[in-house]
Structure 1
Amino acid sequence: MKRAATLSRLTVIAVTLGATFAACGARAETIRIGEINSYKAQPAFLGPYKNGWNLALDEINAAGGVNGNKLEVVSRDDNGNPGDTICVAQELVAREQVKLLFGGYLSNTGLALADYAKQRRIFFLAAEPLTDKIVWQDGNKYTYRLRPSTYMQVAMLVPEAAKLKKKRWALVYPNYEYGQSAVATFKRLMKAAQPDVEFVTEQATPLGNVDAGAVAQALADAKPDAIFNVLFSADLGKFVREGNTRGLFKDRAVVSLLTGEPEYLDPLGAEAPVGWIVTGYPWYSVDTAANKKFVADYRAKYHDYPRLGSVVGYSAMMSLANGLKKAGSADSDKLAAAFKGLAVNTPFGPISYRAIDNQSTMGAYVGVTALKDGKGIMASYRYIDGASVQPSDDEVRKLRAAE
């Protein structure tokens, strides 16, 4: 009798322990994601960007995470330096044990991360870097990109530039990968659209250290009919103020990448240019359900309005969540495969990641700058789908031939 009772108790204990171990084995894990960006160097864009991905992260985890797993982001600053970028990537992977990476702002740091992803075979979502090389010449299996590329955004603007029928163009741009690429693409596409176009001067300025007075004067001396501007952030503000002071923009057309983004337009206040053809984000008047919900949620959380960076951060995190769900794993090979054709809902509407070059179809708003109540706004704008401004598949295959 005693022996039977003892065996019975042991059986109960064994069953209980088995159930406990099974529950432990099935317990959801936290997926650690590494995020790298130039927060100190580019706060105007990246502060709102971080708010955006944090908003999405909260929404994802509040809904139970991804496949029952909560997401955790471990973020690092790269000081806007490619060498530091690699150092923090190595630290995140080796010490923090992150499973994948996202982020990047400047094109040079983005390219450094793309190469690291290729060498280490770790998934990397380039949220912001605009250089074409990330998905074309330097493209690789493990690197995807969210924002429309330099080529795509220039291709959105060239038809508007060609409509101006201006012959003599001046070019001003930051002298690094993004600026150089934007100008090269503008020249090529404008020549195709308007064969008689002339490029009368180029001003390539140090990133973050533009001599705006000298640049504005050099452009004025060339007597162009129109200006193509690629400057952004603080460089843009200095250029606009010096140009206004010297009458550079009077009776002269300007086509300008990024200037309609609130990060760069809002600080100009009443000095904001009028009549420039730009890409940007008129958050205050986009009347889609997706944008209105995003704006309302963002304002409720941060008591502030969103910028374009906010959309990029939010959409990047939602992309990762959708990719992880589809892959059923944080394994980089499975995640890279899952991102091919991946569909994501964003504040700009549905997008997908193209299988041919790992580029998303996110588009941009193209419009004209105006002043309202002493502030710069975008008027007469329209949304251009990123899928409509891509080269042919054959061209993309040639560009990615070295992959």
Structure 2
Amino acid sequence: MSEILRFTQNDKKPLEEEEIQKTELKKACVNCGAELKYKPGTTSISCEYCGHEETIKLDEKGFEELELYPYLKEMGAQRHSEEISMLHCKNCGANQHVEENYKSLHCVYCGMPLILEDAYKEDWILPGAVLPFQIDQNASFIIFKKWVKRLWFAPNKLQKAALDPQFTKGLYLPYWTFDAQLSATYIGQRGEYYYETRRVRNANGKMVTQQVRKTRWYPASGSVSGFVDDTLIKASQQKSGRIPQKIAQWNLTKLQPFNSSFLSGFVTEKYTIPLQEGHLHSKEVARDIAERWCRQDIGGDTQRVTSMNMQLSEETFKHILLPVYVSAYRYQGKEYNFFINGENGQISGTRPYSFWKIFFAVLAGLLVVGLLVFFFGK
């Protein structure tokens, strides 16, 4: 667990029921008193009962990029941190924060019950930005439904999972983003293709001419520099329910300055990959970017980079939250997850197969073959 956090795993503080209710208390509708929830695709919170809406006030200053090394060396200015209540899933390991005062909760990944009395308080680095949900739950049902219809031999329970709201949760995922000025010097080689004509014997034993490509190598060296913007590094990991790469693409130009109102009505997963580890991953990405820039600078038809010295400066970071819908259910003792990108609607998931549907399909196929043989084999 990150040293930025004030409490370690052994220091988790149980919350009394009164504290939980106070922590989870959200803004009430001025007309009917019901809880106001974020309305996907807008900058408003609204009442599901009377339709009253209020505009979310965004910070006019925009995002605040935090200096990286004060956090890594001094473990953070607490003005950028706050205490939140957390629920830990003992089955899959996900750490979840729920904005609503639910009486009963289930893990968004594996569907296992979460016990409210097990809640504890923990510090986290306050998100600097959030990409609010752009599609609502009803739209996610339609996407699920279309996807399920295309699946052959899916069990009937899958059809129910795609249609029943209790199986689908809106989840904000934690990510780190890193910015930096990158500079690198390199030594390498530039390769230029040329062709030689040769006579070779083909598969039929005949002599034919053939163009053979070869490469001339020339020494190359130089330097490159530029700005690396918003290197995206995932900040959570658990035993199951990892987000497929297919849907892990968001348009970060839609990020909004963080406001907790965007979280109302949704579950927020807390980061479990600490800032220091996320930074190490971002340096690996930066090295790949630097090598690509070096190859572009070398030019030619192909390149070799034999040595490279990379430096990063003016490094900053943000903790951001990105939207996804998750559907989780168990079939014959196994857990299955289905994911929809809450910004663009991309879907991906694992699926079970119905033994009986396959069995009867095979049986029907054999019956058809048998009838064809019976009638046309005479």
Instruction: State the structure with more CA Rg.
Output: 2
Taking CA–CA contacts closer than 8 Å with sequence separation of 6 or more, which of the two structures ends up with the larger relative contact order? 2
With structure 1 as the length reference, what TM-score do the two structures score? Answer: 0.21
Q: Looking at secondary structure, tell me which structure has more helix per residue.
A: 1
